[in-house]
């Protein structure tokens, strides 16, 4: 498969997962199946295949910033790195939705976290963590007021 | 769930192929290795001895999964209590560990772009020797299973089926070790000079020269052919006929494997007509 086709395919897959998360307020079980398991597992399969096939031939390594930059000069490894982002960002998105449901956080509040996780993974995780902290603080005040 | 409750709940609600927990779990694990290996096959253009470098790990993953599910399914004919016995549980762990080490090295060697079998570097030779020992170790589990099934005199096991199971499992060990051992000592699986690019589908056996893998394949599958024959014979005939017939089939099957082996050693392809 040409790398460009592979790139388009994994992007489409990831979008499917994020679509499922957007609809999770209507269909939480399917969102969990699709975004929490199926799509990350498919992406992980593609990632593992690329690493098995190309890692031993890749330049660079994990030891220094120039090493890591050299690693990503190989298109197949760069694609694997991109799939790594897609898979784990989506997995974190699914975790946010799951955690929010368990803690009864309104979906509208989770939505900005999902958008940020989709675009800038760790920043979205940070926002969601901040949201939970704020709610925990608020809950203490409510308890103290009783 | 403890092993004892596993064994008792088993008969009622588990598929009959998932009887032995360690073998069943290993079989599932080997199946789960197939999708990422297929992805690697799709992405990789490297060849090894003229065939795609990922063909071999795939074949071993499929073969080990079939072996594990077969052993798991046959475990239902073990005498009562063996599945839960401490010696069996410990033994099975060593067998599964040997298979996991084997497939890890074969898959890893493909990733590194080197030979897992017949590797000539110092480290590769050491690993190859260790692999040979591990392969004999896990294949010998068929002998242990055969011994235990032979010990089982439960009336609900058809005598022809039991004959097929015991002889098949024993033959699998003897023929696999003999043929694979010969192949290992002869420095390659082909007898004669040829390219492998157009082997017999789907096994990839040579169409032009002798291929020792053919005998290895049939020898190892004695554990399927003989019980299948015993099962059918037991259904169709009285034990007076079906048991001796199962013995005769075992002899004929062993003779066939020996003939296929001799054919390869003589440098002749398995099915030249299809070449």
Q: What is the predicted pLDDT for the residue at B196?
A: 55
Q: What is the predicted pLDDT for the residue at B178?
A: 92
Within this chain, do residues B164 and B95 fall inside the same structural domain, yes or no?
A: no
Q: Does B43 touch chain A (CB under 8 A)?
A: yes
Residue in this structure with the two tokens 């037991």, named with its chain if needed: B234
CA dist B39 and A6 (Å) reads: 11
Query: CB-CB: which of B37, B39, B113 is closest to A46?
Result: B39
- Count: domains in chain B: 2
Neighbours of B138 (CB within 10 A): 22
Average the pLDDT over A114-120 and give the result.
Answer: 96
Alpha carbon of B38 to those of A50, A56, B25, B66: distances in Å? 10, 18, 21, 18
Which one of B102, B135, B154 terminates a domain? B154
Within this chain, do residues B137 and B189 fall inside the same structural domain, yes or no?
A: no
Question: Residues 8..37 of A with a Cβ closer than 8 Å to B: which?
Answer: none
Chain-chain contact of A49 with B111 (C-beta, under 8 angstroms): no
Q: What is the predicted pLDDT for the residue at B273?
A: 62
Within this chain, do residues B215 and B142 fall inside the same structural domain, yes or no?
A: no
Within this chain, do residues B133 and B105 fall inside the same structural domain, yes or no?
A: yes
Chain-chain contact of A45 with B39 (C-beta, under 8 angstroms): yes
Within this chain, do residues B168 and B232 fall inside the same structural domain, yes or no?
A: yes
Q: Return the domain boundaries, chain A.
A: 3-145
Q: Does B61 touch chain A (CB under 8 A)?
A: no
Least confidently predicted of A81-85, A131-135, B60-64, B209-213: B209-213
Within this chain, do residues B249 and B186 fall inside the same structural domain, yes or no?
A: yes
Q: What is the predicted pLDDT for the residue at A146?
A: 61
Within this chain, do residues B126 and B243 fall inside the same structural domain, yes or no?
A: no
Which one of B114, B139, B154 terminates a domain? B154
Residue in A closest to B34 by C-alpha: A45
Average the pLDDT over A108-134 and give the result.
Answer: 95
Q: What is the predicted pLDDT for the residue at B44?
A: 86
Within this chain, do residues B147 and B183 fall inside the same structural domain, yes or no?
A: no
Contact present, B239 and B159 (Cβ < 8 Å): yes
pLDDT in tens, chain B (275 residues): 444 444 444 455 567 888 899 999 999 999 999 999 999 998 888 887 777 889 899 999 999 999 999 999 999 999 888 999 999 999 999 999 999 999 999 999 899 887 777 677 777 778 888 888 999 999 999 999 999 999 887 777 889 999 999 999 999 999 999 998 888 877 778 877 765 556 777 788 888 888 889 999 999 999 999 999 999 999 998 889 999 999 999 999 999 999 999 989 888 888 866 54
Half-sphere exposure of B226 (CA within 13 A, CB side): 33
pLDDT one-digit tens code per residue, A23-47: 999 999 999 999 999 999 999 999 9
Burial class of A146 by CB neighbour count within 10 A (0 to 12, 13 to 18, 19+): exposed
Q: Does A87 touch chain B (CB under 8 A)?
A: no
Residue in B closest to A80 by C-alpha: B43
Mutation target to probe the A interface, by most A beta carbons within 10 A, among B32, B33, B34, B36 is: B36
Which one of B104, B119, B154 terminates a domain? B154
Predicted ipTM?
0.81
Two structure tokens written together for A13:
């897959």
Q: What is the predicted pLDDT for the residue at B194?
A: 63
Candidates A75, A78, A79, A72; CA nearest to A10 is: A79
Candidates B77, B223, B81, B86; CA nearest to B152 is: B77
Contacting residues of A for B111, CB less than 8 Å apart: 51-53, 55-56
Within this chain, do residues B185 and B148 fall inside the same structural domain, yes or no?
A: no
Q: Mapping DSSP to helix (H, G, I), strand (E, B) and coil, where does residue A132 land? A: helix
Within this chain, do residues B21 and B118 fall inside the same structural domain, yes or no?
A: yes
Chain-chain contact of B44 with A1 (C-beta, under 8 angstroms): no
Distance from CA of A19 to the nearest CA of B (A): 25
Within this chain, do residues B138 and B191 fall inside the same structural domain, yes or no?
A: no
Q: Does A53 touch chain B (CB under 8 A)?
A: yes
Two structure tokens written together for B247:
């013995």
Contacts of B130 by beta carbon, 8 Å cutoff, 6+ apart? none
Range of the domain at B220: 158-275
Contacting residues of B for A6, CB less than 8 Å apart: 43
Mutation target to probe the A interface, by most A beta carbons within 10 A, among B39, B42, B113 is: B39
Distance from CA of B113 to the nearest CA of A (A): 8
Q: What is the predicted pLDDT for the residue at B182?
A: 87
């Amino acid at each position: 498969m040409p790398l460009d086709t592979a790139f388009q395919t994994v992007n489409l897959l990831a979008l499917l997962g994020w679509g499922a998360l957007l609809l999770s307020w209507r269909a939480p079980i399917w969102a969990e199946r699709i975004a929490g398991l199926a799509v990350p597992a498919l992406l992980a399969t593609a990632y593992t295949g690329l690493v098995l096939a190309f890692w031993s031939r890749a330049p660079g390594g994990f030891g220094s910033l120039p090493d890591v930059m050299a690693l990503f000069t190989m298109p197949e490894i760069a694609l694997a790195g991109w799939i790594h982002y897609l898979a784990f960002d989506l997995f974190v998105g699914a975790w946010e939705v799951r955690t929010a449901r368990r803690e009864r956080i309104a979906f509208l509040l989770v939505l900005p976290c999902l958008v940020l996780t989709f675009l800038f993974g760790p920043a979205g995780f940070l926002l969601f963590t901040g949201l939970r902290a704020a709610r925990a603080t608020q809950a203490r005040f409510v308890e103290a007021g009783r | 769930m403890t092993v004892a409750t596993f064994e008792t709940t088993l008969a009622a609600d588990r598929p009959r192929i998932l009887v032995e927990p360690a073998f069943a779990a290993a079989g599932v694990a080997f199946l789960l290795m197939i999708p990422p290996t297929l992805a690697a096959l799709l992405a990789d253009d490297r060849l090894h001895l003229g065939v795609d470098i990922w063909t071999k790990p795939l074949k071993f993953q499929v073969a080990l999964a079939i072996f594990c599910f077969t052993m798991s399914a046959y475990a239902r004919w073990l005498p009562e209590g063996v599945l839960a016995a401490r010696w069996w549980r410990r033994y099975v762990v060593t067998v599964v560990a040997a298979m996991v080490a084997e497939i890890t090295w074969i898959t890893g060697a493909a990733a590194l772009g080197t030979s897992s079998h017949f590797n000539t570097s110092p480290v590769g030779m050491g690993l190859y020797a260790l692999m040979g020992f591990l392969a004999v170790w896990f294949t010998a589990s068929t002998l242990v299973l055969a011994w235990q099934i032979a010990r089982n005199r439960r009336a609900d096991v058809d005598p022809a089926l039991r004959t097929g199971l015991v002889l098949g499992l024993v033959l699998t060990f003897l023929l696999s070790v003999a043929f694979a051992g010969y192949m290992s000592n002869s420095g390659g699986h082909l007898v004669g000079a040829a390219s492998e690019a157009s082997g017999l589908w789907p096994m990839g056996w040579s169409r032009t020269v002798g291929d020792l893998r053919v005998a290895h394949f049939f020898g190892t599958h004695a554990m399927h052919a003989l019980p299948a024959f015993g099962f059918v014979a037991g259904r169709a005939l009285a034990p007076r006929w079906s048991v001796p017939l199962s013995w005769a089939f075992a002899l004929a099957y062993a003779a066939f494997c020996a003939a296929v082996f001799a054919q390869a050693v003589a440098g002749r392809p398995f099915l030249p007509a299809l070449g």
